[in-house]
Each structure stands twice: as structure tokens, then as C-alpha cells.
Amino acid sequence: NLNGYNAVQNVGNQVAQNPRVQNDGIQNQIGNGNLVAVRAEGNAAGHNGNQIRCYNCRGVGHFTRDCTVRPRRRDVAYLLTQLLIAQKEEAGIQLQAEEYDLMAAAAYLDEVEEVNANCILMANLQQASSSGTQTNSAPVYDSDGSAE
């Protein structure tokens, strides 16, 4: 720092020559030209040149949360991917958006399956309890089809 000035000075707007980056030439509020706003080409999610891939249908161009395909079966590859992402999350490594979506979708499917299993269990219990309290007034049929 010399006389209150930064030791490194930025003269004008300097941007590396990259065909994907456009220099708008916008300076910071002080107007010294040290900050340049750039606009990069890419998709709406802000991924530059990287193909996003759906973990559900393995399609390109959308996340799992936006997938219109029915959730795929939980095969070995799916479970292995989920395990690796869970280990990554447990180690404190920040998940990418599609990895987070996969874990959220898996948790949602687990909830749905648990609710469905509980509904089936309650229906079976209700049917069993109601059949145990009824009197045997229903006709009993013999093997020849005649009622007793």
C-alpha cells in the first residue's frame, strides 16, 4: 500500500478473452474499474456448458424434481448412487443440485411408501377386527355348492 493506493492497480476493464463471456464494461460504485460485471452463456439454472442429468430417467437437460417420467425402480446402480451421495453428505461435502434433488426425491418416495404401507396395514387390521366381531350368519358352502 503506497500513499493510500492499492499496490496493484487495474487499468480499465480487463477480461480474459473467452468467447463464452461478454464484457458489459460495468464498473463498481466507486468507478475505479476494478469490478467488471460479466454475463456468461448457459442454461436457466446457471450451469455453463455442463450437461445436467436427471438421476431418475438419466435424461439430459432437466433435474430429477422436474422429471415427468415415473420414478425408476430402485436397482443396484440407483442404490449405490444414493449411498455415495449420502456418504458425501455425511462427510460434510456440499452436494450439487442434482444430488440434493435425488436425496429429496428418495426421501419423498420413502414417505409415500411408508404411508401406503400404513394404509394397507390399517385396512387389513380393520378387516380382521370386523370379521372377528361378526356372528357366523353368513352361509357356509359345501364342496358340492349346496348351503348348509
Q: Is residue 105 part of a domain?
A: yes
pTM over 0.85: no
25: pLDDT confidence band, cut at 50, 70 and 90? very low
Higher pLDDT pick, 139 / 35 = 139
Q: Is residue 22 part of a domain?
A: no
Q: Is residue 46 part of a domain?
A: no
Q: What is the mean pLDDT of residues 17-32?
A: 46
Domain interval for residue 123 = 71-129
pLDDT reported for residue 31 = 47
Q: Is residue 107 part of a domain?
A: yes
Q: Is residue 135 part of a domain?
A: no
- Number of structural domains in the chain: 1
pLDDT reported for residue 124 = 85
Q: Is residue 83 part of a domain?
A: yes
Q: Is residue 115 part of a domain?
A: yes
Higher pLDDT pick, 54 / 32 = 54
Beta bridge partners of 49: none
40: pLDDT confidence band, cut at 50, 70 and 90? very low
Q: Is residue 85 part of a domain?
A: yes
Which range, of 16-20, 45-49, 62-66, 74-78, averages the lowest pLDDT?
16-20
pLDDT reported for residue 68 = 82
